[in-house]
Amino acid sequence: MNRTHTVNAGACESVALAGTTDGLEQLRTLVDAVLDTVSASAIKHDGPITAGGPSAAIAAVRDVMRGDGFLTDAPGPDRVSELFEVYAAWAADLTHPAAVSRMQCAPTPAAAAAELLAAILNQSLHSWESGPFALELERRLISEMAGWVGYGEMASGTLTPGGSISNLVGLLLSRDHILTGAADSDISQSGLVGSAVRPRILCSAAAHFSIARSAGFLGLGRDSVVKVPTDDMGRMIPGEACRLLDGFAADEVPIALVATAGTTDHGSFDPLPELAALAAERRIWLHVDAAYGIGALFSKDLASLLDGLAEADSIAFDLHKFGWTPASSSILLVRDQARLSPLAQQAVYLNPPDDEAEGYTALLGTSMQTTRRSDALKIVASLLSLGRKGMGDWVDACHSKARYAAARIDQDPNLELLAEPVLSTVIFRCLTSEEIEDEGAWNAAIRRRLMAEGRALLARTKVRRQDGETRVHLKLVFLNPATTPEEIDALLDDVVAAAAEVKDAMRTQVRQS
C-alpha cells in the first residue's frame, strides 16, 4: 500500500494548547480576566447571589448562547470573556457572610491555583506515565490521611469524586467482602443474581441519602437498608441497632453498619466506640460516613467527637466541605488495603505485569474510574498553605460562629432554636404569635424570598422536635471562618424582616382570593 497524507499546516498554525508558549500567553490574559471578573462581580453584589430567581438564570444562559449555540460560527476570546463575566455574576458568592445554605466552602487561594495547574498539565492517575508525580503524591496523601484517622501501615484508600461516591465505594467493598465470605465464591465475578441471602445495610434514620442510593446502585435494593432509630439529636441508638440485628431472619446478612460522623442537619456524631464494639462482636463491616464531620479532626476541642474512628473498616470524608478545597476533594480510606481487591484491574495496554514488576505501577486498580484527575494536588497545596494549626483554627472559628448564631437566635422572640450546634450548623425556625395557616410553608417561603431577592442563602430541612413533631426548619451552615458577629446579626435581622414581609404578602393574597 502506498498512501500519502498531507498535513494541513494552515489549520495547525492557529493551535495554541494550554501548556505551550502561545497557549500560556493566551492563558495569562484569560486568567487576568478571570481574576478581574471575580473581583468586579463580588463588589457589585450586595448579597450572595444575583436577584431574579430561576427565570433570570435561564435567561442569562440564553443570552450567552446568542442564538447560535455553543458550537458557534463566530468563536473567539470575546465570547469566552462574556461567558466568564456572566458565570461570575451568577455564581453563589461563597465568600459572602449571608451564603450559609450549603456545605460548600470558598477554597483557599493555594487550592484554587493548584486547580489551574492541574488543569493545564492534565495529569491522570490510571497509568504510570500519565502522571508519575501526581500518583506518588496521591499515594503519600492517602497514607498521611490514614495516619490522621489512626489507621496503621496496612491502610489504603482512594480519592473519589465526592462523599456520595466514597460511601458507594465503601459499601461496594463491604458487599463484596462479606458476601464473598458468605457465598464462598467471588461475588464481583459471579454477581448477586440467584444469591441465597438477603443483604442488609444498617444506618441511622439521619444517615445521608447516598447510603440508600448506593444500595440501589449496588444491586442490593434501597429496601435492603434498615434504618436504626435515633435520639432527638439524630444520633443512632446502639441498643436499637442490636435489637434490629437480633430480629434478622437466618438469610438476612448484615453487610455493613454505617455510622454517621457529622450528620447533615445537626452535625451529630453516632456513638462510634459503641458501634465499633457492636460491629466487632457481630463481625459486621463498619463504615463511617465522616463526609462533613472530618472537620472535628483538625480541632483540639472537637477531635474527641471522632474517638473510635480508627476501628472502622472504611471511612469516607470530604475536604470540599470542612477543608477549604474545591470540589471534588473526597476520600475513601480502608483499614486493610486487601479490602480494595474488588477494584483490582489489569489491562494489557495500561498495566502489564512486567511493567508493574519494574515499578511502573499506577492507581487504576484502586478506583472505579479509568482516566482520573489529580485531586491530591489542590488538597496538598491547601494543607501546605494552612498547616495543622491553620486548619484547626478555621474549624474552631466556624464552630464558634455557629454557637454565636445559636445564642443570638435563642434571644430573639421571633426565632426558635432547635438545639445547640455540634459542629457548624444551626437549625431554627421563625415563630409567629399570629394565626398562620401553614407554618412550615411560611418558613419555606421566607427562605425562597431571601434567595430570589439575592439577600441571603439559607438551607431548609425537616427535623423531628423534642415534642415528637417533624417540622420544616431553617438551617445555617457556617464554613467561612472570616464571618463577623455583626454580619451574623445582620443576617438574622434580615431573616426576621423577610418573615414579616412574607406574612404581609400571604395576608394580601388571602384578601385578594
Ligand X SMILES: *Cc1c(COP(=O)(O)O)cnc(C)c1O
- Which CB atom, from 289 or from 313, has the smaller least distance to ligand X? 289
In whole angstroms, the minimum distance from the beta carbon of 365 to ligand X comes to 23
> What's the grid cell of residue 479?
464554613
Restricted to residues 306-345, the positions that interact with ligand X (CB under 6 A) are 318, 330
Asked whether the beta carbons of 317 and 309 are under 8 A apart, the reply is no
Question: Could you say which of 123, 264, 325, 351 contacts ligand X (CB under 6 A)?
Answer: 264
Q: In whole angstroms, what is the distance from residue 307 CA to residue 259 CA?
A: 13
Q: Residues of 469-505 as b/e, b for ≥16 C-beta within 10 angstroms?
A: eeebbbbbbbbbbebeeeebeebbebbeebbeebbee
For residue 416, give the nearest of 445, 443, 449 by alpha carbon.
Answer: 443
In whole angstroms, the minimum distance from the beta carbon of 290 to ligand X comes to 8
Total residues at the site for ligand X (CB under 6 A)?
14
Strand-pair category, 286-289 with 252-260: parallel
Largest distance between two CA atoms of the chain:
90
Q: In whole angstroms, what is the distance from residue 1 CA to residue 364 CA?
A: 39
Long-range contacts of 353-362 (CB under 8 A, 24+ apart): 355/128, 360/128, 360/129, 361/128, 362/125, 362/126, 362/127, 362/128, 362/130, 362/131, 362/135
Give, rounded to a whole angstrom, the gap between the first and last alpha carbons of the chain.
83
In whole angstroms, the minimum distance from the beta carbon of 211 to ligand X comes to 8
Strand stretches in 221-329, DSSP E? 225-228, 252-260, 286-289, 314-318
From 74-82, 224-232, 286-294, 468-476, span contacting ligand X (CB under 6 A): 286-294
Question: Could you say which of 23, 52, 53, 162 contacts ligand X (CB under 6 A)?
Answer: 162
- Which CB atom, from 85 or from 289, has the smaller least distance to ligand X? 289
Question: Could you say which of 103, 294, 333, 456 contacts ligand X (CB under 6 A)?
Answer: 103
Q: Does the footprint of ligand X cover residue 208 (CB under 6 A)?
A: yes
Q: Does the footprint of ligand X cover residue 210 (CB under 6 A)?
A: yes
> What's the grid cell of residue 220?
442490593
In whole angstroms, the minimum distance from the beta carbon of 405 to ligand X comes to 19
- Which CB atom, from 128 or from 285, has the smaller least distance to ligand X? 285
Strand stretches in 400-441, DSSP E? 415-417, 425-430
In whole angstroms, the minimum distance from the beta carbon of 317 to ligand X comes to 9
Residue nearest ligand X, Cβ-based: 163
Q: Does the footprint of ligand X cover residue 424 (CB under 6 A)?
A: no
Q: In whole angstroms, what is the distance from residue 321 CA to residue 319 CA?
A: 5
- Which CB atom, from 255 or from 423, has the smaller least distance to ligand X? 423
Q: Does the footprint of ligand X cover residue 111 (CB under 6 A)?
A: no
- Which CB atom, from 319 or from 446, has the smaller least distance to ligand X? 319
Number of H helices, E strands in the chain: 15, 11
Q: Alpha helix locations (H) across 9-131?
A: 9-12, 21-44, 53-65, 77-90, 109-121
- Which CB atom, from 275 or from 415, has the smaller least distance to ligand X? 275
- Which CB atom, from 103 or from 225, has the smaller least distance to ligand X? 103
Q: Does the footprint of ligand X cover residue 164 (CB under 6 A)?
A: yes
- Which CB atom, from 275 or from 502, has the smaller least distance to ligand X? 275
- Which CB atom, from 256 or from 498, has the smaller least distance to ligand X? 256
Q: Does the footprint of ligand X cover residue 115 (CB under 6 A)?
A: no
Q: Does the footprint of ligand X cover residue 378 (CB under 6 A)?
A: no
Q: Determine the 3-state secondary structure of 455 from DSSP.
A: coil
Q: Does the footprint of ligand X cover residue 289 (CB under 6 A)?
A: yes
Question: Could you say which of 97, 107, 163, 295 contacts ligand X (CB under 6 A)?
Answer: 163
From 257-265, 273-281, 333-341, 436-444, span contacting ligand X (CB under 6 A): 257-265
The binding site for ligand X (CB under 6 A) comprises 103, 162-164, 208, 210, 260, 262, 264, 289, 291-292, 318, 330
